[in-house]
Each structure stands twice: as C-alpha cells, then as structure tokens.
Structure 1
Amino acid sequence: MVRYLVAASAVALFASAAPAQTQAGSHNPAVKNGAPHSVAAPAKGANSFTEDQARGRFAKAGYKLASKLTKQNGLWQGAATKGGKQLTLMLDYKGNITTR
C-alpha cells in the first residue's frame, strides 16, 4: 500500500509540473526577439554585429542603404532612405535601430 501511495504521489507531482512550463505568455528575457526595433537613443556598448549582419538588420527594417557602413563608438552607422526620406541610421549592440 505504501508503494502505491508513493508511486501515485510521484505521478501527480510530474503531471502537475509539465503544464506550468508550456503556458502561453511566459517571458524569458534571455531570448532576444530577432525583429528589428527602433529606439530613441542607441544603447552604449561594444557591438559584435558584422557589417553584413548590420546591413541585414537595416534591410529587414525596410531601409535602403545609400552609403557604406562604418563602425564608430560601438555603433554601425550609414546613410539610407525609407519612404523617400534620407536618414542616418545607427545600429547598437542590442540590434536596435536609431535614425537621425
């Protein structure tokens, strides 16, 4: 009888833990959303994006580059157009896009 109670308790414990891991709406800040974001000011920090990755981020956000990209103070920078407007773009180490 004791074995039956221990086994039933173990099954109940494992069965109740599984749905908690699959609930919608959980937030994991360690997982970065790959979509480009536009922010008011770029984050300060060392940028590990390559030039090709920066070009891809800008293109994914709908910008057409009009100049060569340069990396200054941890930011990828370049001139681009979007919707007929000429802009200066910046990409920070978090993948956020800032325009001027």
Structure 2
Amino acid sequence: MQRFIITVAAAGLLATGVNAQSAQNGSHNPVVKDGSPKTIAAPAKGANSFTENQARGRFAKAGYSSLSKLTKANGLWQGTAMKGGKQLSVMLDYKGNITAH
C-alpha cells in the first residue's frame, strides 16, 4: 500500500512538471528574439544598441538592397532602400524589427 502511494505521488509530480514546462514553451517574451528580422507597422521606442553595420546586415537579411546612408535618431536607424522594385523609407528599432513605408 505504501509503495502504491509513493508511485501515485511521483506520477503526480511528473505530470505537474510537464504542465509547467509546456506553459513556458507557449509564453511570449518580446525581449527574446530568434534573430530573424521582422517587418512591423510601427517601430518600438527605446535605446538602440545596433551598430550601423549590424543595422545594414538586418536590412540585407530582410531582403532590402541599395541601402542609403543610415542615420540614427530617437533610437531608430533610418534610411531608404529598395525592395520588390520600390524605393522605401526603412527604420530599424531596438528590438531588430523593420518598418518600411
């Protein structure tokens, strides 16, 4: 009987750990990025620590070419670039997200 109680208690602890782990996997943490650039509607405001070369690399990885001289203002890297045959104003926020208009 004692062995049965220990077995049931151990199974309960294992099931609780699995549930807690799957809840963490489905959570959204905007600070943790997968590294791929995302195009969004509006840039996030905040201090930007990307260097100009890193910013250029993010734009290139997202498919932008002919990038003009980039300037950094209000925490955003800004410039113009070509994508899909169109010249666009582009911005890169501190999270690595790209905004194009």
TM-score by length of 2: 0.76
Question: Where do residues 38-77 of structure 1 align in structure 2 (5 Å cutoff)?
Answer: 38-77=39-78
1:50-84 Cα offsets, whole Å, 9 max, x none, are 22221121111100143222211110112211112
Partner of 1:82: 83
| Stretch deviating more after TM superposition (74-83 or 4-13) | 4-13
Q: Given the alignment of the two structures, is residue 8 of structure 1 paired with residue 7 of structure 2, yes or no? A: yes
| Paired positions, count | 98
Moved more, 68-77 or 34-43: 34-43
- The alignment-based identity, stated in percent, is 59
Give the match's secondary structure for 2:78.
Answer: strand
CA RMSD across the alignment: 2.3
d(CA) in 2 for partners of 1:26 and 1:44? 26
Provide the rounded CA distance (Å) in 2 between the counterparts of 1:47 and 1:79.
Answer: 18
1 CA distance for matches of 2:51 and 2:8? 53
- What amino acid sits opposite 1:16 in the alignment? A
Q: Which residue of 2 aligns with 1:19?
A: 18
Deviates more, 1:31-40 or 1:41-50: 31-40
CA distance in 2 between partners of 1:54 and 1:80 (Å) = 12
Task: Give SS of 2:80's match.
Answer: strand
- Name 1:31's counterpart in structure 2: 32
CA contact (8 A) 1:65 1:78 kept: no
Which runs of no fewer than 5 residues in structure 2 stay unpaired? none
Change (3 A) 1:6 1:28: farther
